[in-house]
Structure 1
Amino acid sequence: MYLPHALRLPLGLLLSSSLLLGCGEQAMEQRPVSGPIHVDVLDLTPTTLRLTTELPGRITAFKQAEVRPQVTGILKSRLYKEGSQVEAGDVLYEIDSTTYQSNVNSAQAQLAKALTSEDATQKTALRYKELIRKKLASQQDYDDANALYKEAQAEVAIRQAELDYANIELSYTKIKAPISGQAGLSLVSEGSLLTSEQSSYLTTIIQTANVYVDMQQSSLAITKIKKEFAHFTDKNAEIPVTITLEDGSAYDETGHLEFSDTQVSGSTGTVTLRAIIPNPDNTLLAGMYVRAHISMPEARGYLVVPQSAVVRSQSGEPSVFVVNQDSNVEKKPVVLGNEVNNGWVVKEGLSSGEKVVISNILNMKNGVEVVVDSSTDSSVPALTSEE
């Protein structure tokens, strides 16, 4: 059959394409099936760790007192150096005491008058008592004299109380330190008028030898921590607390957990934890923000897997691949706990002796056959933390 010249070239290309396609299908049919995937595994064995929980914290003064005047008057002098250490009872300020000293003098005079009256009425009552015995006076006369004596005694008590109160007010003209500690900046100067009920304070005194670290934790997290503590043998063990400063450096001193609040904040849903930290060099200042690390009371054995061995679903659920006895891979969901260096503590989902895949993770799926090239003990130093 004769074909036009214009159709010869396309027909040749079509025949060539058919031949190539046939060869490609034959080559695909002859391609060898891929064999088992080579992996490295981690033999899970318990690692002894003393876990820590990290929380944001804020430094609070161990004791802090706001110094205020208790009487009204003109400030006469300031007797302390700002920023210095003061002892409880040291005089910090002195108010002009002229008026209060006058009140004391007046009260003393009133007391002396009352004592004189008491002495006179007592003698009169005794005299009438003797006259009654001799039947030279009536009972009514004695009763009246004795009543006057008792009134004089009451008057003495009143005048004594007034003198005591006047002395107390006079003593308040010397404003003393209520606690020992570091005195702060003075907010008043000589010549200022101070009042007994003023809301503003004169200065503050802070005890800094020890400080509090207040930490906020959710009520759910507190419940989990308490459950963890319930498994420890020593119920009275002191719980160590260390802190990291704002610049990332570790603070040298170690404190201990003091208590947790008994109420949950209605606005934030958190519970306050409080620790006491020694502060011998006054490095920690009230109001400073730190990172607190709460250690478990004792070390225990935990299963730890590398972070690179953990895969997550689209919803964020973690899981790992393990090799079973048939050399096939199984995907197991896990519950993760604390982060330990470059690993995760596995709280649920795995058991000791299982082989966790730590290489070729991208090619893993359920049922894949694997060949284990190497096996590593899970207690290698890279996965442990210092106790």
Structure 2
Amino acid sequence: MKPSNLPGRSALALAATALLLASCGSSGADAQKKGGRGASGPAQVGFVVVQPTSVPVVTELSGRVTAFQMSEVRPQVAGIVQRRFFTEGSIVRAGQTLYQIDPSLYQAQASEAEANLQSARATAEAARIRADRYRPLAKMEAVSQQDYTDAAAQARQAAAGVAQTNAQLRTARINLRFTRVPAPITGRIGRSLVTEGALVTTNQADPLAVIQRLDPIYVDIQQSSADMLALRRSLAQGGLAPASAVVRLKLEDGSDYGQTGTVEFSEVMVNANTGTVTLRARFPNPEGILLPGMFARAAFAQAINRQAFLVPQAGLSRDPRGNATVYVVGPGNRAVARTVIAERTLGANWVVTQGLAPGDKVIVQGTANLRPDAEIRPVPVTTPQRIEAPKGDQGAQGAAAKKGG
């Protein structure tokens, strides 16, 4: 080959290559135009058929832990504390002696009352015998009737004196027993607020100690009166049904309390300062995790909505204003945007209370580039999406394009 012919042949080869590439490109473009919206046609979307179902209306409110029972240990007699019989922070039993108050004065009072009772009994016995002797003498008129009447009255008065001194003796013995201060209830006792040697009185402001029963335990929940009124109105209209209020707790650190509780009762009056109504829930507390005064979040179902729809979260979107929208399969297999009311979630689903009808096909797959009134190819959400290879001329043109490329 002569060197002078090389530039011409190179130019001819380049021209042939460019012509082949242009031919491949035009064939691919023609294939896309024939298919319209790509070779696969309308976009395939997955839908679910929604039906009304029963969904609990879950309310989450703040609450404060309260002891199941609480007793302030107070003295019922005055005196010097001689001894303390319990360990601070331990469990004490009802009737267990907690403090010993100096009993000397009360022992003396009980002894005096017992002596007075013996004296009264002797006086009463003498008066009774005298009255018995006067009875036959009065009938014989050996003594005047008035003397017998006076003797009988003195006998009855002496018997009343016996009853009076007997009551004084019982009072003295009770006061003596009160020198040993018992635990009113079974529970965990706190720190002792008095020490040995302290003077205590019956009318002092501070208790000796405080006992609290912590298992079970109460949680007082605050709900606004407006929310409770709306709930009762919905129940009256038939839109909701009452539910058994099983309560779950979320503790201050964000963890869930393992035990569930039940609502015991609701107050019959509204707090004038806060505008709330108190609901009391009862929880088991075997490990003592809940302590009086702790704050917690209580979640429980106050009612059941029997006309709600559960829509997977992937099928619902919101605009900048927060309005919820879903796409449903409309007539002619076209996407129809529907505005709905969805104020809360339940697991992986939105709870839709308005905007849907039984049997609606809600699109939950392929919604990324979906537009209102767009033509679609709906399939159930469980149907896998099939991607087929091009057929016929399209396959040959694609192979040629790959070979030419």
Shorter-chain TM-score: what band? 0.7 to 0.9
Cα gap change, 1:250/1:152 in structure 2, threshold over 3 Å: closer, same or farther? Answer: same
Using the alignment, how far apart are the partners of 2:70 and 2:335 within structure 1?
Answer: 62
Cα gap change, 1:375/1:265 in structure 2, threshold over 3 Å: closer, same or farther? Answer: farther
Please name the residue that 1:114 is paired with: 120
Does residue 153 of structure 1 match 2:166?
A: no
CA drift at 1:120 = 0.9
* 1:38/1:370 contact within 8 Å kept: no
Cα gap change, 1:88/1:50 in structure 2, threshold over 3 Å: closer, same or farther? Answer: same
Identify the match of residue 135 of structure 1 among 141, 145, 148.
141
Cα gap change, 1:355/1:71 in structure 2, threshold over 3 Å: closer, same or farther? Answer: same
Cα gap change, 1:331/1:266 in structure 2, threshold over 3 Å: closer, same or farther? Answer: farther
Does residue 376 of structure 1 match 2:362?
A: no
CA drift at 1:216 = 1.2
Helix, strand or coil at the partner of 2:289: coil
TM-score by length of 2: 0.74
* 2:234/2:240 contact within 8 Å kept: no
* 1:263/1:271 contact within 8 Å kept: yes
Q: Considering only CA atoms, is the larger Rg found in Structure 1 or Structure 2? A: 2
Residue range with higher mean Cα deviation, 150-159 or 180-189? 150-159
Residues 200-259 of structure 1 deviation map (CA, whole Å, 9 limit, x = unaligned): 111111112201121111223334555677779997x85322223333333232222211
Using the alignment, how far apart are the partners of 2:369 and 2:202 within structure 1?
Answer: 76
Helix, strand or coil at the partner of 1:132: helix
* 2:85/2:97 contact within 8 Å kept: yes
Aligned partner letter, 2:75: P
TM-score by length of 1: 0.77
* 1:229/1:296 contact within 8 Å kept: no
Helix, strand or coil at the partner of 1:111: helix
Using the alignment, how far apart are the partners of 2:192 and 2:111 within structure 1?
Answer: 32
Identify the match of residue 271 of structure 1 among 270, 277, 280.
277
CA RMSD of aligned residues (A): 3.2
* 1:86/1:180 contact within 8 Å kept: yes
CA drift at 1:136 = 1.2
Using the alignment, how far apart are the partners of 2:220 and 2:195 within structure 1?
Answer: 35
Does residue 192 of structure 1 match 2:195?
A: no
* 1:39/1:370 contact within 8 Å kept: no
Identify the match of residue 94 of structure 1 among 93, 97, 100.
100
Identify the match of residue 345 of structure 2 among 333, 339, 344.
339
CA drift at 1:350 = 1.4
CA drift at 1:335 = 3.2
Helix, strand or coil at the partner of 1:356: strand
Q: Aligned pair count?
A: 342
CA drift at 1:175 = 0.8
Does residue 53 of structure 1 match 2:59?
A: yes
Using the alignment, how far apart are the partners of 2:227 and 2:377 within structure 1?
Answer: 39
Using the alignment, how far apart are the partners of 1:281 and 1:301 within structure 2?
Answer: 41
Residues 331-381 of structure 1 deviation map (CA, whole Å, 9 limit, x = unaligned): 44433354212432112221221123445468645xx3341454437xxxx
Does residue 214 of structure 1 match 2:214?
A: no
Using the alignment, how far apart are the partners of 2:303 and 2:82 within structure 1?
Answer: 55
Does residue 256 of structure 1 match 2:238?
A: no
**Structure 2, gaps ≥5 residues long:** 1-35, 383-405
Please name the residue that 2:329 is paired with: 323
Cα gap change, 1:372/1:139 in structure 2, threshold over 3 Å: closer, same or farther? Answer: farther
Identity of aligned residues (%): 39
Cα gap change, 1:238/1:328 in structure 2, threshold over 3 Å: closer, same or farther? Answer: closer
Residues 48-75 of structure 1 deviation map (CA, whole Å, 9 limit, x = unaligned): 6556433222221111111111111111
Helix, strand or coil at the partner of 1:334: strand
* 2:240/2:303 contact within 8 Å kept: no
Helix, strand or coil at the partner of 1:131: helix
Using the alignment, how far apart are the partners of 1:56 and 1:278 within structure 2?
Answer: 19
